[in-house]
Amino acid sequence: MATAAEQAARSTRTVQLVSFTVGNEEYGVDIMAVREIRAWSETTPLPNTPEVVRGVINMRGAIVPIFDLRARFGMPRTEPTKYNVVIIVSVSARIVGILVDAVSDIITINEDEIRPMPDMEQVSGLGFMEGLITVGDRMVGLIGLERMFSGRMLEAADSTGKPLLAGPNEAAA
């Protein structure tokens, strides 16, 4: 059980999120995980990768896999335009890109404003959602990048620097 001092410290701790849209919904990730925000550019496709993997880009000598969040969320795959954005994030000491429709805002909230997800993770497949926040009149889903890319979705890079990705018959985590 938390002491009054611990509860007070938690309520004053602030969290900053980068918010973005995927479809008609708004999501956010911890700003500390964001390394770069880039305009969409064509990727090099990789054979035998899941539909959520758009391909890879060469980012200053590093090969970075790009994941389509529309496909990850069970929507039709994104048909990228010049308006789409790739958010480069660090996940478990790996760098990956997530393709989104647009970046919306930088949101600063108190940690105690994060509300738990409704108990429907097994039904909806949204186990990577860490919570919800209310910003004005809109609801923003907080994505846990560690949860989203856990399991076999993304393996550590091997000694050649090539990303090891789950095959098409392996379930996304």
What is the DSSP secondary structure assignment for residue 26, as one 8-state letter? E
- The answer to whether residue 20 is domain-embedded is yes
- 126 vs 130: CA distance, rounded Å: 9
- The answer to whether residue 165 is domain-embedded is no
pLDDT at 169: 36
- The answer to whether residue 159 is domain-embedded is no
- The answer to whether residue 39 is domain-embedded is yes
Nearest 5°: CA angle at 35, between 89 and 86?
60
Query: Hey, what amino acid is at 32?
Result: M
CA nearest to 64, candidates 165, 168, 166:
165
Q: Tens digits of per-residue pLDDT, 90-109?
A: 998 899 999 999 999 999 99
- The answer to whether residue 1 is domain-embedded is no
β strands within 44-123, DSSP E? 53-59, 62-68, 85-91, 94-100, 102-110
What is the DSSP secondary structure assignment for residue 111, as one 8-state letter? G
CATH number, domain of 129, equals 2.40.50.180
- The answer to whether residue 43 is domain-embedded is yes
- The answer to whether residue 3 is domain-embedded is no
- The answer to whether residue 155 is domain-embedded is no
Q: Is the pLDDT score of 33 beyond 50? A: yes
Q: Is the pLDDT score of 163 beyond 50? A: no
Asked whether the beta carbons of 66 and 94 are under 8 A apart, the reply is no
Asked whether the beta carbons of 89 and 145 are under 8 A apart, the reply is yes
Q: Which domain holds residue 129?
A: 14-148
Domain count along the chain:
1
Distance, CA of 130 to chain centre: 11
Q: Could you tell me the pTM of the whole model?
A: 0.80
138: left (phi over 0), alpha (psi -120 to 50) or beta: beta
**Residue 84, SS3?**
coil
Q: Tens digits of per-residue pLDDT, 48-90?
A: 889 899 999 999 999 999 999 999 988 999 999 999 999 999 9
